[in-house]
């Protein structure tokens, strides 16, 4: 076990994006290539993106379990679960068409779609969730080439109560690679899968270790292999 300052690890995690709608306040403001600033808003059922001067207009709306990320030099990336895959989409904020927020009334309750937009993404791709542990070569559109690393927490098919029920998919778009890290400590025998789940994770730039948050349990540090729990930084109720 190495001695890493818990305060630094907590700060890294506090600035890590989590899923809609619960973590929408962690979403970064977007500044487009045309220097337009777009801000995120929680509308009661969904999280929307729009210009500050157009409060009744929306450029994009997100259903549950979506997470935005920055795609250099000025694109908006969004990743979300899509069936038995993870979908990653890339949008140009300057080309997003505005629409009335009234269009969204009741839409999310009726639809399994995660992203609502009048503008198609400039690029997108999917990663299968049935990939085995280890590193895999994947086809990544050129628009994502300047993204160095994304850590994607996701449910993982467990064949027994003692198999990992969650995994971290560590994506390296610039290299066209994804590393699958089954969380060997997170099993149905030890946790209430569904009620408890890994919401977000990030890499400490100094130690290169992964720190994460498990809803209903606490925040944690993983061992060097990224698959085993080293220790809890904080636990719920303690």
3-state helix, strand, coil in the chain (%, to 5): 10, 40, 45
pLDDT of 45 strictly over 80: no
d(CA 101, CA 99): 6
Q: Give 200-226 pLDDT, tens digit per residue.
A: 999 999 999 999 999 999 999 999 999
Q: Give 49-67 pLDDT, tens digit per residue.
A: 999 888 789 999 999 999 9
Q: Give 177-206 pLDDT, tens digit per residue.
A: 999 999 999 999 999 998 999 999 999 999
Neighbours of 224 (CB within 10 A): 12
């Amino acid at each position: 076990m190495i001695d890493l300052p818990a305060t630094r690890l907590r700060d890294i995690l506090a600035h890590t994006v989590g899923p809609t709608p619960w973590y929408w306040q962690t979403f970064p403001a977007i500044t487009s290539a045309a220097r337009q600033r777009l801000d995120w808003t929680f509308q009661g059922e969904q999280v929307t993106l729009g210009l500050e001067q157009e409060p009744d207009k929306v450029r994009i709306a997100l259903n549950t379990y979506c997470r935005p990320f920055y795609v250099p030099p000025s694109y908006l990336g969004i990743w979300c679960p899509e069936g038995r895959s993870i979908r990653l989409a890339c949008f140009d904020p300057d080309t997003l068409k505005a629409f009335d927020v009234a269009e969204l009334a009741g839409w999310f309750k009726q639809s399994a779609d995660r992203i609502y937009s009048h503008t198609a993404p400039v690029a997108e791709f999917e990663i299968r969730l049935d990939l085995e542990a280890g590193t895999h070569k994947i086809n990544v559109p050129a628009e994502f080439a300047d993204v160095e690393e994304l850590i994607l927490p996701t449910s993982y098919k467990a064949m027994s109560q003692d198999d990992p029920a969650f995994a971290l998919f560590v994506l390296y778009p610039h290299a066209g690679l994804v590393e699958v890290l089954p969380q060997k400590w997170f099993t149905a025998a030890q946790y209430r899968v569904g009620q408890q789940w890994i919401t977000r994770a990030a890499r400490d730039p100094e130690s290169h270790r992964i720190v994460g948050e498990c809803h209903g349990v606490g925040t944690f540090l993983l061992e060097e292999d990224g698959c085993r729990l080293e220790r809890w930084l904080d636990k719920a109720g303690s």
